[in-house]
Amino acid sequence: AEEVEIPSRDWSFDGLFGTFDRAKQQRGLQVYREVCAACHGLRLVSFRNLADLGYNEEEIRTIAADYQVEDGPDGDGEMFMRDGSASDRFPPPFANENAARAANGGAYPPDLSLITKARADGSNYLYHLLTGYQDPPADVEMMDGMYYNAYFPGHQIAMAPPLMEGVVDYADGTPATVSQMAEDVTYFLTWAAEPHMEARKIMGMKVILFLLIFTGLLYAVKRKIWADLH
Ligand code: HEM
């Protein structure tokens, strides 16, 4: 497939001082839960991690309890289902890859935990993939069960357009346009792939600052020690 140019958008998490945006991440969580989670897992994220998005313990327990997770074996050696708790991870939508493919016309919806890292320029790619569905150009013959997408490599993707205007009802009243939901879920999944990004960037600045001061100090000490020798 030919290379597709991915346009860049402005993200609050870009750059040396980039930070996340909790309102957008919370809306993105809602999009993931109500839309993407029907087909895509998020197996590396635990409910307790949602504290990063500003939820308190009570809210996290409520979210977790919406899910059924597999546990066991019990005393009889049987696996069983129970309500999710804060220490559980998001349960997968399908039992295994074969079941996932069977439900999706043979295509495999990848786990989204690390998707913004697994694809080049992942955050920009994800946003444009979600907003990039179009009518195929006249000279393109579409394969069965495929949808034309301007940004998917090869342009034919087995994922039907997942976002339709108004498909979620945002708790904070933000209008749920396709672009808004795509942006919000990109914020959420960028955090999921690198939850410690803010701490990493702050640490980076501290290290550089320390090295600058330390360099100045060493230079001053060097001048003092060798002062008698010119
Ligand atoms: C593929 C995201 C909803 C089914 C993908 C890919 C991403 C993605 C990033 C990988 C594209 C690539 O390989 O570069 C999302 C997001 C969703 C969503 C963020 C929610 C907003 C859904 C839903 C379904 C679905 C609801 C099922 C009804 C698939 C399938 C593939 C796929 C089957 C594999 C496509 C192929 O390889 O041709 N999705 N998805 N997705 N998704 Fe989704």
The CA-CA-CA angle for residues 113, 130, 106, to 5°, reads: 70
pLDDT at 49 (0 to 100): 98
Of the chain, the end-to-end C-alpha distance in Å amounts to: 67
Average pLDDT of the residues in 149-159? 97
For residue 2, the SS3 value is coil
For residue 216, the SS3 value is helix
pLDDT at 2 (0 to 100): 63
Q: Which of 94, 142, 159 to mutate to test the pocket of ligand 1 (most atoms within 8 A of CB)?
A: 159
Q: Distance, CA 109 to ligand 1 centroid (Å)?
A: 5
Average pLDDT of the residues in 130-139? 97
Q: Look at the block and give the residue holding tokens 């001061």.
A: 213
42 CB under 6 A from ligand 1? no
| Sequence-separated (6 or more) residues with CB below 8 Å from residue 158 | 104, 105, 106, 107, 145, 146, 147
Residue pLDDT, tens place only, 164-200:
999 999 999 999 999 999 999 999 999 999 999 999 9
Residue nearest to atom 14 of ligand 1 (CA): 152
Mean pLDDT (the chain, rounded): 96
Nearest atom in ligand 1 to the alpha carbon of residue 189 is 19
Q: Please give the model's pTM, rounded to 2 decimal places.
A: 0.94
Phi, psi of 9 (to 5 degrees): -115, 170
pLDDT at 104 (0 to 100): 96
101 CB under 6 A from ligand 1? no
Residue pLDDT, tens place only, 12-39:
999 999 999 999 999 999 999 999 999 9
Spatial separation of the C-alpha atoms in residues 48 and 60, rounded to whole Å: 6
Q: Checking DSSP bridges between strand 80-83 and strand 156-157, what pairing results, if any?
A: unpaired
pLDDT at 4 (0 to 100): 85
Is residue 124 predicted with pLDDT exceeding 90? yes
ipTM score for this prediction = 0.99
DSSP 56-80: -HHHHHHHHHTSEEEE---TTS--E
Is residue 1 predicted with pLDDT exceeding 60? no
Is residue 3 predicted with pLDDT exceeding 80? no
